Amino acid sequence: MTAILIADDDPDIRDLVAFKLEQAGYDVRAVDNGLAALSAARENPPDLAVLDVMMPGMSGVDVCRELYANPATATLPVILLTARAQEGDVEVGFGAGAVDYVIKPFSPRELVRRVEAVLARTRA
Amino acid sequence: MVGIATGALLVLTAVTVVLAAVIIFGRAARRIGDARRARLAAPARRALLALAAGDDEQANFTTLARLEPGVWRAVEPTAVALLGKVRGEARAVLVSVFEERGSGERALRQTRRAGAVRRARAAEVLGNLRRRDAVPTLVALLADPDPDVRAVTARALGRIADPTAVPALLASLVGPRPVPPQAVADAVLRIGADGRDALVGALDHPAELVRVTAVEVLGLVGAITAAGRVIEVLSGDASPAVRARAAVTLGRLGTRQSLGPLLTAVEPTQPPALRAAAARALGDLGAVAAAPALGTLLADPDHDVAHAAAYALLRMGDAGRAALARAAHAAPAGSDPPVETATARAGAYAREALAVAELEARRRVGAAAAAAVR
């Protein structure tokens, strides 16, 4: 089963994304901070990670950079989920290595489509 | 004397014990209450998440619409929060639950009730439901005695995105009960280009903070048709801070007509902060015609101006980099003894910018290689 890691400090978003992805047939692991996401990704790399940008301590962008810098996780596709919608913020996200950027408020259905598209591209 | 001291000590000890007990029991009661509400809300929360996720909409809608009032009160904070976090069908179906339960009408009534938390929650509900009919009520609430209610109300007006609220939002920046500038700017930004006319009108407001905010948001919403008015602000506003922000906005808007006024704004007779902002804006504009003027600014005695000019040239592409390379070449690094001349200053700023560009290029090569592996 395709494994997806979710990191978001907002329990509502975390539970909603997890619920939606589980309904779509993915094996979901959800954590509430960046450091836990990094540990989880390193211990057992998922097929894809959905990371909130604004998390206390370590942001999603920081996690993305760390994953990217480590050969064991450098190929892990990351989708950033964030309320920061300015052009510069999106550039920073892609600059950190993210493959997609979903802006809050978001459509859960669209998020699943984005996940599917990224996974399809990765496996192509 | 000893008796009085002993008595006072006993009273103090008793007061301390009572206070500690109040705190402990208060916290315990709150935890028990939170746990009870969470237990009560758990099944409904599951239905709420499923509804927001688009799963079995009719069954979950019915479950939520028929919840006992006590259970709904327990789950309502989550529902209100979710409204602001999702869009599309997920949001529409959540709104229909609120409508079915009469939450909007209740929130309208609660904006006039005692208790700041209640009023703030009501404002949040109305904003998340995007009730346009609530705009006059919310505009009045911008002057609420409680600062948190005012900030929440500004956010709610931004979510409703009715442009008629823009003048009131901007006016709320000043006065005896002001709303924080960040909350106002975010709200007006969410309203977007529809608020253009009100933003342009606010450029004549007597308060500097209102003009700064208005000119900043005009740039962020990409109000290109307002560029002419922003140019007037750049050259004619009484406040250097407003003029500097106008320069930033012109850089964001990127219109051709901004070039001349921005070149005037970097002249040595202008305030340093304005010159630095205008130099950065010329970089955003990316007009090659500005390269000679920015090249001259590399030797400017003001650090911010010279630094901004170097990075502006960097963003300008080939013409800018050529100007930087010329300046760096004219004053090679490591002259001994170090000489503080205009040429040396320009060379130092040019070398710094080129070095940063080189690092960025290497990082991008690395990123591209990793992306190729993916």
Number of domains in chain A: 1
Name the residue among A10, A15, A109 with its Cβ closest to that of B54: A109
Q: What is the mean pLDDT of residues B236-243?
A: 95
Give the pLDDT of residue B368: 59
Is B91 in Cβ contact with A68 (below 8 Å)? no
Is B187 buried (19+), middle (13-18) or exposed (0-12) by CB count in 10 A?
buried
Q: Which residues contact B268 (CB under 8 A, 6 or more apart)?
A: B275, B300
pLDDT: is B84 or B238 the higher one?
Answer: B238
Give the pLDDT of residue B172: 96
- Is A21:A29 a contact under the CB 8 Å cutoff? no
pLDDT tier for residue A25 given thresholds of 50, 70 and 90? very high
Number of domains in chain B: 1
Map tokens 């005009």 to a residue: B218
> In Å, how far is B73's CA from the nearest CA of chain A?
17
Local structure of A30: helix, strand or coil: strand
Chain B contacts of A16, Cβ < 8 Å? Answer: 49, 52-53, 82, 85-86
Separation CA B52–CA B297 (nearest Å): 55
φ/ψ of B168, rounded to 5, equals -65, -40
Local structure of A98: helix, strand or coil: coil
Residue B34, domain member (yes or no): no
Report residue B160 CA to chain centroid gap: 17
Question: β-strands A48-52, A78-82: how paired?
Answer: parallel
pLDDT: is B218 or B90 the higher one?
Answer: B218
Map tokens 């669209």 to a residue: A110
pLDDT at B275 exceeding the cut of 60: yes
- Name residues 75-104 of chain A within 8 A of B (Cβ): 75, 77, 86, 95, 97, 99, 104
Give the pLDDT of residue A85: 66
Is A75 in Cβ contact with B86 (below 8 Å)? no
Residue B235, domain member (yes or no): no
pLDDT tens column, A45-82: 999 999 998 898 899 999 999 998 888 888 999 999 98
Q: What is the mean pLDDT of residues B155-181?
A: 95
Q: Which residues of B touch A (CB under 8 A)?
A: 45, 49-50, 52-55, 78, 81-82, 84-91, 220, 367, 370-371, 373-374
φ/ψ of A113, rounded to 5, equals -65, -40
Q: At what angle do helices B57-65 and B69-83 cross, to 10 degrees?
A: 130
Give the pLDDT of residue B77: 85
User: Which residue in chain A has the smallest CA separation from B252?
Assistant: A87
Give the pLDDT of residue B369: 64
Residue B344: CA count within 13 A, CB half-sphere:
9
> What CATH number is given to the structural domain containing B144?
1.25.10.10
Chain B contacts of A10, Cβ < 8 Å? Answer: 85
Report residue B112 CA to chain centroid gap: 28
Q: Which of A106, A28, A38, A30 is nearest to A72 (CA)?
A: A38
Separation CA A29–CA A59 (nearest Å): 18
Whole-number percent of chain B with pLDDT over 70 = 94
Give the pLDDT of residue A86: 66
Q: What is the mean pLDDT of residues B268-288?
A: 93
pLDDT tier for residue A114 given thresholds of 50, 70 and 90? very high
Give the pLDDT of residue B184: 97
pLDDT tens column, B334-357: 655 555 788 888 888 999 889 988
- Is B237:B224 a contact under the CB 8 Å cutoff? no
Separation CA A9–CA B132 (nearest Å): 31
Is B374 in Cβ contact with A75 (below 8 Å)? yes
Which span out of B41-50, B269-278, B328-337, B338-347 was modeled with the highest average pLDDT?
Answer: B269-278
Which of A6, A10, A15, A68 best probes binding to B when mutated, by most B CB atoms within 10 angstroms?
A15
Q: Write the CA distances from A122 to A119, B219, B319, integer angstroms.
A: 5, 37, 38
- Name residues 22-61 of chain A within 8 A of B (Cβ): 23
User: Chain-wide mean pLDDT for chain A?
Assistant: 90
> What CATH number is given to the structural domain containing A43?
3.40.50.2300
Residue B153, domain member (yes or no): yes
User: Chain-wide mean pLDDT for chain B?
Assistant: 89
Instruction: Annotate chain B with three-state secondary structure.
Output: CHHHHHHHHHHHHHHHHHHHHHHHHHHHHHHHHHHHHHHHHHHHHHHHHHHHCCCCHHHHHHHHHCCCHHHHHHHHHHHHHHHCCECCHHHHHHHHHHHHHCHHHHHHHHCCCCCHHHHHHHHHHHHHCCCHHHHHHHHHHCCCCCHHHHHHHHHHHHHHCCHHHHHHHHHCCCCCCCCCHHHHHHHHHHHHHHHHHHHHHHCCCCCHHHHHHHHHHHHHCCCHHHHHHHHHHHHHCCCHHHHHHHHHHHHHHCCHHHHHHHHHHCCCCCCHHHHHHHHHHHHHHCCHHHHHHHHHHCCCCCHHHHHHHHHHHHHCCHHHHHHHHHHHHHCCCCCCCCCCCHHHHHHHHHHHHHHHHHHHHHHHHHHHHHHHHC
Chain A contacts of B190, Cβ < 8 Å? Answer: none
pLDDT at B162 exceeding the cut of 90: yes
* Cis status of the peptide bond prior to B337, with omega within 30 of 0: yes
Give the pLDDT of residue B257: 93
Residue B361, domain member (yes or no): no
Q: Which of B113, B98, B187 is nearest to B151 (CA)?
A: B187
Q: What is the mean pLDDT of residues A13-24?
A: 92
Separation CA B196–CA B320 (nearest Å): 34
Separation CA A92–CA A54 (nearest Å): 13
Is B374 in Cβ contact with A99 (below 8 Å)? yes
Local structure of A70: helix, strand or coil: coil
For residue A72, what are the domain limits? 3-123
pLDDT tier for residue B31 given thresholds of 50, 70 and 90? confident
Chain A contacts of B81, Cβ < 8 Å? Answer: 12
Q: What is the mean pLDDT of residues B305-310?
A: 93
Separation CA B55–CA B52 (nearest Å): 8
pLDDT at B142 exceeding the cut of 90: yes
Which span out of A91-95, B8-12, B28-32, B246-250 was modeled with the highest average pLDDT?
Answer: B246-250
Query: Bridge partners of B138?
Result: none
Q: Write the CA distances from B61 to B90, B103, B125, integer angstroms.
A: 12, 15, 18
Chain A contacts of B367, Cβ < 8 Å? Answer: 68, 95, 97
> In Å, how far is B251's CA from the nearest CA of chain A?
14
Separation CA B53–CA B82 (nearest Å): 11
Q: Which residues contact B61 (CB under 8 A, 6 or more apart)?
A: B51, B93, B96, B97, B100
pLDDT tier for residue B201 given thresholds of 50, 70 and 90? very high
Could you tell me the sign of the dihedral formed by the alpha carbons of B38, B43, B45, B49, in that order?
Answer: positive
Separation CA A107–CA A109 (nearest Å): 5
For residue B177, what are the domain limits? 132-221
Residue B147, domain member (yes or no): yes
